[in-house]
Amino acid sequence: MSEVILKNVAKKFSTKTLGEVTAVDDFNLTIREGECFSLLGPSGCGKTTTLRMIAGFEDLSDGEIWIGDKPVSVKKRNLYVQPEDRGLGMVFQAFAVWPHLNVFENVAFPLRVRKVRKSEMDSRIAEALKHTGLSGLERTFPSDLSGGQLQRIALARAIVMNPKVLLLDEPLSNLDPKLRESMRFEIKEVQRRFNFTIVYVTHDQAEAMALSDRMLVMDMGKIQQIDTPTNMYNNPANKFVYGFLGLSNFVDVTIADGKVYPEGASGQAIECGIPKDFSESAGTLASRPNEIDLLAEGGYRTEVKARIFLGDYTEYRMDVGDREIRVQTASEHGFHVGDKVGLDFTRVKWYSRDEGISDAERERRKII
Amino acid sequence: MKLFSRSSPDMPGRGFDINKLLMIACLLILIVTVAMPMLMIVYNTFFYGFTFDWQMFVHVIMDPSNVQAMWNTILIAFWVTLLGTLLGVFYAWLIGRTNIPLKNLMKTLFVIPYMFPPFIGAVAWGLLLSPRAGYINRMWMQMMGTREALFNINSIAGIVFVQICYYFPFVFLQVVSALERMDPTLEESARISGANQLYVIRKITLPLVVPAIAAGAMLILISTLSHFGVPAMLGFSRGIFTLPTKIYELINRSAGSFEGIRQGAALSILLVLVVVIALWLQRKILKAGHYDIIRGKSMRPMLINLRGAKYPLLFVCLASLFVIVVLPLFIIFAVGSLRAYGLPLQLSNMTLANFHHVLFSSRMAQDAIRNSFVLSISSAIIAMFVGTMIAYVVVKVKVKGKALLEILALLPYSVPGIVLAIGVILMWSGTFYLNLYNTIWIILVAYIARYVAFAMKSSSASLEQVHYSLEEAARSCGATHLESLRDITVALIRPGMIAGFFLIFLPAMRELTTSILLYGPYTRTLGVAIYAINAEGNITQSAALSAIAILIIMLGNLALRFVTRERRRVS
């Protein structure tokens, strides 16, 4: 059994400037055996704190955490298993490769702590190094290696004990973009071979979607949505999740006589269906830049304000009411700045107005 | 307005270059103040007039009492380094990695010995623990009804003890800052790998701070090898000599005769050799291990819960702070207020007469305070400008020979003060048509040579943060080289220069080692006056003058703190 279960987990910090801050609030989550599960959210949302509570570096303020069928943190019983006794593997953002030990010694550390026999140790290290592409670098010291290689050492060190659960704390964010993409596959590959449960923390939605079987978006210490990447991208539960999972346009609208009028526009309506279950008279339309088509005639009439050629596609900017929206299209329309153009919203999502929390509040929380 | 007023296609060029001029000026200053005195020591050791004479050197270094002094020096340095390092690491770990209370208070207090002149500490410990008259020893003898002293401070062990009190902060500060800068995930990843806290300390934390420990230990080693004040205060009366005090004694005994100075110079070479070996060791050790342990995304390090040991350890910390900081300070002020040395420390025996005498009647003390102020301020100002100039050439100018410049400027940093003093005597006592001996100028020259390195370090640290492009931008806006220097570079490093001023003013104010060889009848400095009054047996007056010196130094430190805080706010 290598599930990770969080029940009513909460974490409060007391800070000098802000008083008590709730970093994680009433968190309920079951991460299934063998799955790759991502915690995704902006900085200060509490995702790293959650991971550190699972690892045992932070105690809980409330609730309990189970790994497999054993409780590791239970606030009510004051049960708290030390990090070294939880049997986890972990990879940190800043690699945390020990600079005074060479590659072999770094990877050997967890085995040495547990006094594994020499012969077994050698074979396990060899295997871990093989699967992380580090064979041949055993005697090299970290100062002579690149960022990608350092992260592979951290990975090898985490898997050499064959843990049931591997925790990854933004492991790729210190790497350059190209390397980041190839490392994603390497992590998946290693998981497939060793078959452990992954808990992955990141603020990069592309990374989360590429890696995860299921994922979770959190904000301000609260879970916003738990789902598979596809479902979540296609059906974001709220405006925050929608905005976090890719490029987005939001247009505030009012509904009158079954028609949809953008705020600040002069009587022109957007042609799009109103969902039956949407009963409010005002709402927010959400649409991704590639879900809007440009028409020479018809559609919602507006004027091209800017045109940016970006190689694979072209981006246009125009006003809808008092909002500026972005449209990205691969086809060569040949519209120019100042041209009249029509917008066809092929796919929209509806959300209530004023969902979500002010940016100022979010900024404030970044301090913790 | 026309941009280019000349009609010719060539823009006006200029023949001479400020950078080259600066370089030559720096080199000249350093050759006269640093290189020549050092060479004079070597020359005078091996040449008598113009004839080669190596016998004197052999004679001096084979002399049994000199050999004994060398062994004492090494023995003291060994124990001070070893015990000071252990003490520094232990306290640094307590404050950096455990949940001991009152951390910030202790961090501030542990640094106080750093600014306290060690020879005044030696005076204080003499008052407390001299075998017969020391207050603690007398209390002990009374209490136990014995004539045996508890501890004799006038011994090798006593000298080691007092030096440890003042040198352990070198290691403490280095290690505390290394622990604070260390990425906590280095330790956390060891925990998650299955290691318990003790294992992590042994296998991860300690090895990672070894470079910091080594750097601090080497600082202690080199400082204590050249240290003069404590063995002079505590060892002279018992005939315990180290190399620096032996050099002083050789010259003092011969009443400043040329033969005495030559012998001192010869012994200096021995001392420099010992220091060079230590420096070589330092280079080797510091090169061996230098890890990049700076933290990335910061998280608080996990603190070790001391549980039951928390309050006993806190008591140990506070008790050692009491011994190292409070007790010596108290005894200096208390004895400085006594009507006569030896009276019980009671309020009825207290008087302000000593302070009054020292400040208003004693010609020697008044001279000393005035001289120290004049010397410290003027040497700090001059050394600050010269040091900044050198730092500018070393950091910003691409010219040949700047490595030599740097070596020359940093040389006095490692050359013992007493050796520098002998070099200065040999250089400025009429050898080159200029006799400054017995004047205040010779001390000023020595101070400048000694402290230029301080200013250079402070200024080059600031200069390294001023990017080339800032000056280039000024020049592209039409400023001349001199204008861009003045309005951009100097303006930006001014806080570093002011800090440099205080970094010279403070040690110069408490200087003893160099001035004790250079003073004349009316050019005593504070340190020399305290030493002399103490040697005359006017214990209460020397304590009073020490107390005044401490007050001046503390005020100076407050000013420095204020200046550096301002500086932080700016950046």
- Would an 8 Å CB–CB cutoff place A141 in contact with chain B? no
Interatomic CA distance for residues B320 and B133, integer angstroms = 23
- Would an 8 Å CB–CB cutoff place A17 in contact with chain B? no
Q: Which two tokens stand for residue A153?
A: 């050492």
pLDDT score of B471 more than 90: no
Smallest Cα distance from A107 to chain B, Å: 10
Interatomic CA distance for residues A262 and A256, integer angstroms = 11
pLDDT of residue B341: 84
Instruction: Find the domain containing A271 and state its range.
Output: 247-351
- Would an 8 Å CB–CB cutoff place B193 in contact with chain A? yes
Task: Give per-residue burial for A318-338: e unless 16+ CB within 10 Å, then b.
Answer: bebbebebbbbbeeebebeee
pLDDT of residue B571: 41
Span between the terminal Cα atoms of chain A, in Å: 34
Residue pLDDT, tens place only, B107-163: 888 878 877 889 999 999 999 998 888 888 888 888 888 888 888 898 999 999 999
- Would an 8 Å CB–CB cutoff place A96 in contact with chain B? yes
A159/A54 same-domain check: yes
Interatomic CA distance for residues B469 and B481, integer angstroms = 13
- Residue B289 pLDDT class (50, 70, 90 cuts): low
Q: Which of chain A's residues have a Cβ under 8 Å away from the Cβ of B299?
A: 52, 57
CB contact under 8 A, A143 and B293: no
pLDDT of residue B395: 86
Interatomic CA distance for residues B162 and B434, integer angstroms = 40
Nearest to B186 among A96, A158, A174 (CB): A96
Structural domains of chain B, with CATH = 17-53+352-571 (1.10.3720.10), 56-294+302-336 (1.10.3720.10)
Residue pLDDT, tens place only, A236-263: 998 889 999 988 999 888 888 878 888 8
CB contact under 8 A, A114 and B183: no
Domain count, chain A: 2
A214/A337 same-domain check: no
H helix intervals, chain A? 47-55, 103-113, 118-131, 147-159, 177-194, 205-211, 229-234, 239-244, 359-365
- Would an 8 Å CB–CB cutoff place B302 in contact with chain A? yes
pLDDT of residue A35: 92
- Residue A326 pLDDT class (50, 70, 90 cuts): very high
Of B15 and A287, the one with more pLDDT: A287
| The dihedral formed by the CA atoms of B69, B72, B76 and B79, expressed in degrees to the nearest 10 | 150
3-state secondary structure at position A286: strand
The one-letter amino acid code at A267 reads: G
pLDDT of residue B291: 65
CB neighbour list of residue B199: distance below 8 Å, 6 or more residues apart = A113, B190
Q: Are A233 and A245 in contact (CB under 8 A)?
A: yes
Nearest to B302 among A57, A100, A110 (CB): A57
Distance of CA B559 to the CA centre of its chain: 18
pLDDT score of A97 more than 60: yes
Percent of chain B at pLDDT exceeding 70: 94
A81/A226 same-domain check: yes
A272/A235 same-domain check: no
- Nearest Cα residue to A325 out of A267, A283, A282, A284: A284
Instruction: Indicate the residue among A240, A274, A297 that finishes a domain.
Output: A240
- Residue B13 pLDDT class (50, 70, 90 cuts): low
- Would an 8 Å CB–CB cutoff place B292 in contact with chain A? yes
Q: Which of chain A's residues have a Cβ under 8 Å away from the Cβ of B191?
A: 56-57, 82-84
Q: Which of chain B's residues have a Cβ under 8 Å away from the Cβ of A56?
A: 191-192
Whether residue A142 lies inside any domain: the answer is: yes
Residue pLDDT, tens place only, A204-236: 998 999 999 999 999 888 899 999 999 999 999
pLDDT of residue B446: 93
Q: Which of chain A's residues have a Cβ under 8 Å away from the Cβ of B189?
A: 90, 92, 96, 98, 154, 157
Mean pLDDT computed over A307-336: 87
pLDDT of residue B570: 44
Whether residue A154 lies inside any domain: the answer is: yes
pLDDT of residue B6: 47
Mean pLDDT computed over A151-156: 92
Whether residue A233 lies inside any domain: the answer is: yes
Whether residue A282 lies inside any domain: the answer is: yes
A260/A230 same-domain check: no
pLDDT of residue B248: 92
A183/A199 same-domain check: yes
Smallest Cα distance from B181 to chain A, Å: 14
CB contact under 8 A, A83 and B188: yes
Q: Which of chain A's residues have a Cβ under 8 Å away from the Cβ of B295?
A: 94
Whether residue A364 lies inside any domain: the answer is: no
A148/A13 same-domain check: yes
Whether residue A121 lies inside any domain: the answer is: yes
pLDDT of residue B295: 52
Nearest to A96 among B188, B195, B210 (CB): B188
pLDDT of residue B1: 45
Instruction: Indicate the residue among A240, A274, A289 that finishes a domain.
Output: A240
pLDDT of residue B2: 47
- Would an 8 Å CB–CB cutoff place B195 in contact with chain A? yes
Distance of CA A326 to the CA centre of its chain: 23
- Would an 8 Å CB–CB cutoff place B570 in contact with chain A? no
A312/A228 same-domain check: no
Interatomic CA distance for residues B236 and A99, integer angstroms = 48
A41/A120 same-domain check: yes
Residue pLDDT, tens place only, A46-63: 898 999 999 998 889 999
Rg from Cα positions in chain A: 25
CB contact under 8 A, A99 and B297: no
Nearest to B293 among A84, A99, A158 (CB): A99
Question: Interface pTM (ipTM) of the complex?
Answer: 0.82
Smallest Cα distance from A31 to chain B, Å: 20
| The dihedral formed by the CA atoms of B213, B216, B221 and B227, expressed in degrees to the nearest 10 | -150
CB contact under 8 A, B193 and A110: yes
State the number of CA atoms in the 13 A half-sphere of B137 facing the CB.
19
DSSP A76: T
For the domain that residue A274 is a member of, what is the CATH number?
Answer: 2.40.50.140
Residue pLDDT, tens place only, B365-407: 999 999 999 999 999 999 999 999 999 888 888 777 778 888 8
Instruction: Indicate the residue among A240, A259, A293 that finishes a domain.
Output: A240
A259/A196 same-domain check: no
Q: Which two tokens stand for residue A70?
A: 């054993």
- Residue B9 pLDDT class (50, 70, 90 cuts): low
- Residue A68 pLDDT class (50, 70, 90 cuts): confident
For chain B, counts of helices (H) and of strands (E): 27, 2
pLDDT score of B230 more than 70: yes
Smallest Cα distance from B295 to chain A, Å: 8
CB contact under 8 A, B183 and A94: yes
For the domain that residue A160 is a member of, what is the CATH number?
Answer: 3.40.50.300
Q: Which of chain A's residues have a Cβ under 8 Å away from the Cβ of B211?
A: none
Whether residue A357 lies inside any domain: the answer is: no
A262/A234 same-domain check: no
Whether residue A362 lies inside any domain: the answer is: no
Q: Which of chain A's residues have a Cβ under 8 Å away from the Cβ of B297?
A: 93-94, 170
Query: Could you tell me the pTM of the whole model?
Result: 0.81
A201/A72 same-domain check: yes
Span between the terminal Cα atoms of chain B, in Å: 38
